[in-house]
Structure 1
């Protein structure tokens, strides 16, 4: 099969930052589906792994990345029960396995969902990773109850990003929350408003901006951009007994004592935890993706696709990585094979 990968962590402009190569088509076993990939989208995790996985050494076999995909099931393992050959599926995959920048990919069916029927392949490919991350943050970490928590406030840091764009929609339409998103450029501010944010504030003057809209403190905070940089501000603006969820990292220890007097809960969210550790509830991601699929088909959620690149090529993947590394992308970029 054809695949695109890398042997060394080069800057994206280097001619070998991605290489095209041929490799054997994998065979499914156990819970695996063999999927013929039709399209995938690029997330920050893609370029971060490309920049670090082979920084100090050269790999013998090219590493295949890519953790969002839409495709058709071509073969199944002996323990599968959720899908059959010919089914259209979408998924974010498993960070410990080969990715979707290839003609074919193996993926555990327990982290796979049925592709939405009423939207295009490329629109569906934009959704899995960000939807799983946002959904888990709201409903598995904070455990939002749409009835009990109706009207409570959630601050979404980096509202126009891939995860933030889904979190705005889920928090508003499923969680019944008052949604406050951060953005600074005119296009990103409008994007957040179009997705349903009740308020959009500038992240450069967060405390002052929140006071202006009458929300000096908020019940929940979703950090999708820079936990370390915002930590002290977050500790000030979170309400007593509030909940903070972050998907980013800190280069130094965080002072959790800042949350003690308010009895604030702090949670990490990593979408890959269930697949990395084969947790007892790994099939929860199958359930979430099927739910997302239905919400997309009903028009309750809308895809965050903004750019489609046509063709399975090294240059197209370089383009997507350049855009992600710029930090200025809005929504999602998809490569349609």
Structure 2
């Protein structure tokens, strides 16, 4: 049986506990017909990693990690999208072991070619957030290059917001983008990514947004919707649309009077449900890679840690858990001696 170095958890512990994340040798999953075996060179940490580590029982040893960039080493019998030696990036799925391992098995239909102009570390910052932003804008809100109106991005300094601003700048020329930020540094960050206007989400959002869009915004993307429905009901125009990626709220009835549409976006739905259009994630990641290589999108990596180990992943989890990160935290390189020390 082939094994590999992996970082994961056995118990739901505070991130400050040395055992919150640990290194083990774990079996490499068998390749399915559409699978790739990827030698992982870099990973990044997302809020979903933190939520799983803190709240979901491991039932043994659970390997986390979704964003990854690496090199294809083997392919399943039905794979025709990639070959050994190809450089790839992807976001995996919560239905299979995570990417925080040296050798990782992933379905080829949710994998894209790594942007040629990016390092593995800079590429690993992009997949999960790019898929989320793309599906929110184009699958949920159905925006096109002809769409005209105003988009409010709530949580614009986070990973998804940081890539959404760039996608809107590159592909939605007639959409005015309002981004939320909490201080001058973050306001400067979102402007550099394409935001037309910036508002402070710690102040009166209704007053600020309606000063910029008196008739209301056409669309809202929100990473922080809990407790905001009454506000959204005031700032979204009649027949407008909202797409949310967080866990709340459950009652959106205040939106009914204006016939405002509410969407949920979960980028894991396609691989979890094995939908007939799973390959759309492969296609959109390739498009993102093209946009990167043409200079229209840049990495959202803002901090890089090395090597990939239990200690550096705990550090990254702690930073993400604090909720003050701008862009993405990435990790690259492996401590090849870690597994022997933790058996």
What TM-score do you get using the length of structure 2 for normalisation? 0.93
1:103 counterpart = 2:106: no
Q: CA deviation at 1:27?
A: 2.8
Of 13, 17, 22, the residue aligned with 1:14 is 17
Name the residue aligned to 2:277. Answer: 281
Name the residue aligned to 1:233. Answer: 231
Name the residue aligned to 1:83. Answer: 82
Q: CA deviation at 1:23?
A: 1.8
Root-mean-square deviation (Å): 1.2
Name the residue aligned to 2:151. Answer: 154
Name the residue aligned to 1:260. Answer: 256
Q: Distance in 2 between matches of 1:268 and 1:312?
A: 32
Q: Is the 8 A contact 1:5 1:63 kept in 2?
A: yes
Please list every run of 5 or more consecutive structure 1 residues that lacks an aligned counterpart in the other structure. Answer: none
Name the residue aligned to 1:306. Answer: 302
Q: Distance in 1 between matches of 2:89 and 2:201?
A: 33
Name the residue aligned to 1:330. Answer: 326
Query: Deviations 1:213-245 (Å, cap 9, x if unpaired)?
Result: 3445100000112x1221110111111111110
Name the residue aligned to 1:321. Answer: 317
Q: Distance in 1 between matches of 2:111 and 2:11?
A: 30
Of 24, 28, 38, the residue aligned with 1:25 is 28
1:43 counterpart = 2:46: yes
Q: CA deviation at 1:319?
A: 0.8
Name the residue aligned to 2:341. Answer: none
Q: How does 1:156-195 map to 2 (within 5 A)?
A: 156-176=153-173, 177-195=175-193
SS in 2 for 1:124: helix
Q: CA deviation at 1:121?
A: 1.2
Q: Distance in 1 between matches of 2:59 and 2:22?
A: 12
Q: CA deviation at 1:185?
A: 1.6
Q: Distance in 1 between matches of 2:78 and 2:106?
A: 13
Name the residue aligned to 2:59. Answer: 59
* Most deviating of 167-176 and 267-276: 167-176
What TM-score do you get using the length of structure 1 for normalisation? 0.95
Q: Distance in 1 between matches of 2:32 and 2:143?
A: 37
SS in 1 for 2:298: coil
Q: CA deviation at 1:262?
A: 2.1
Q: Is the 8 A contact 1:181 1:201 kept in 2?
A: yes
Q: CA deviation at 1:279?
A: 0.6
SS in 2 for 1:132: helix
Please list every run of 5 or more consecutive structure 2 residues that lacks an aligned counterpart in the other structure. Answer: 334-343
Q: Distance in 2 between matches of 1:282 and 1:234?
A: 32
SS in 2 for 1:136: helix
Q: Distance in 2 between matches of 1:295 and 1:264?
A: 32
Q: Is the 8 A contact 1:210 1:216 kept in 2?
A: no
Q: For the structure 1 residues 214 and 144, does the alpha-carbon distance in structure 2 shift closer, same or farther, using more than 3 Å as the test?
A: closer
Q: CA deviation at 1:264?
A: 1.8
Q: Distance in 1 between matches of 2:194 and 2:282?
A: 26
Q: Distance in 1 between matches of 2:107 and 2:197?
A: 39
Q: Is the 8 A contact 1:18 1:314 kept in 2?
A: yes
Q: Distance in 2 between matches of 1:309 and 1:13?
A: 17
1:127 counterpart = 2:144: no
Q: CA deviation at 1:131?
A: 0.3
Query: Deviations 1:188-207 (Å, cap 9, x if unpaired)?
Result: 11101111100000112101
SS in 2 for 1:113: strand
